Structure 1
Amino acid sequence: MNAFYNKEGIGDVLLLATEKLSIEERKIEQYGGIVKVQNKHNKTVGINLLNASNYGEIDGAGAIEINESIRQLVKKAFEANEQVLDLQLDQSQSFVIGLVESKEKHPNADKLSVCQVRVGKEEMVQIVCGAPNVDAGQKVVVALESAVMPSGLVIKQTQLRGVESKGMICSAKELDLEGASNEKGILVLTSDEEIGSIFSPSIK
Structure 2
Amino acid sequence: MIFAYNPAYVGDTLLIITDDDKGLLQEVTRKGKVARIQTEDKRTVGWNIFGISQLMASQDVGQVELTEKQIGLLNQTLQEAGFTETLPTKVQPKFVIGYVKTCEAHKDSDHLSITEVEVDQEETLQIVCGAPNIREGLKVVVAKPGAMMPDGTMIWPGELRGVESFGMICSAKELQLPDAPEKRGILELSEDAVVGKAFFGE
Structure 2 length-normalised TM: 0.66
Residue identity opposite 2:141 in structure 1: V
Q: Once superposed, what is the RMSD of the aligned Cα atoms?
A: 4.0
The match for 2:88 is 89
Residues 57 and 185 of structure 1, relative CA distance in 2, 3 Å threshold = farther
Contact 1:14-1:50 at 8 Å conserved across structures = yes
After the TM superposition, which residues 84-163 of structure 1 pair with which residues of structure 2 at under 5 Å, given as runs?
A: 84=82, 86-90=85-89, 91=91, 95-135=95-135, 136-144=137-145, 147=146, 149-150=148-149, 151=152, 153=154, 155-160=156-161, 163=163
Q: Using a 3 Å threshold, how does the CA distance of structure 1 residues 27 and 191 change in structure 2: closer, same or farther?
A: farther
Give 2:27's aligned residue. Answer: 27
Deviation (angstroms), 1:128? 1.6
SS of the counterpart of 2:88? coil
Provide structure 1 residue ranges, at least 5 long, that are not aligned to the other structure: none
Q: For residues 191 and 4 of structure 1, what CA distance do their matches in structure 2 show?
A: 33
State the structure with bigger RCO (CA 8 A, min sep 6), 1 or 2: 1
Which has the larger displacement, 182-191 or 114-123? 182-191
Residue segments in structure 2 that go unaligned for 5+ positions in a row: none
Cα-to-partner distance string for 1:64-117 (whole Å, 9 max, x where unaligned): 4342364266368x38x9525632233257554322223344444343333221
Percent identity between matched residues is 33
Task: Please report how far the alpha carbon of residue 127 of structure 1 lies from its aligned counterpart in structure 2 after TM superposition.
Answer: 1.5
| Cα deviation, residue 13, structure 1 | 3.3
Equivalent-residue separation in structure 2 for 1:33 and 1:178 (angstroms): 36
Local SS of the residue matching 1:141: strand
SS of the residue 1:119 aligns to: strand
- Are the structure 2 counterparts of residues 133 and 18 from structure 1 closer, same or farther at C-alpha, using a change threshold of 3 Å? same
Q: How does 1:1-204 map to 2 (within 5 A)?
A: 1-7=1-7, 10=10, 12-21=12-21, 24-39=24-39, 44-54=44-54, 55-59=56-60, 61-62=62-63, 64-68=64-68, 70-71=70-71, 74=74, 78=77, 83-84=81-82, 86-90=85-89, 91=91, 95-135=95-135, 136-144=137-145, 147=146, 149-150=148-149, 151=152, 153=154, 155-160=156-161, 163-171=163-171, 174=174, 181=180, 183=182, 184-188=184-188, 195-196=195-196, 199=198, 202=200, 204=202
Task: Give 3-state SS (helix, strand or coil) of 1:3's partner.
Answer: strand
Q: Which amino acid aligns with 2:131?
A: A
What count of residue pairs does the alignment treat as equivalent? 195
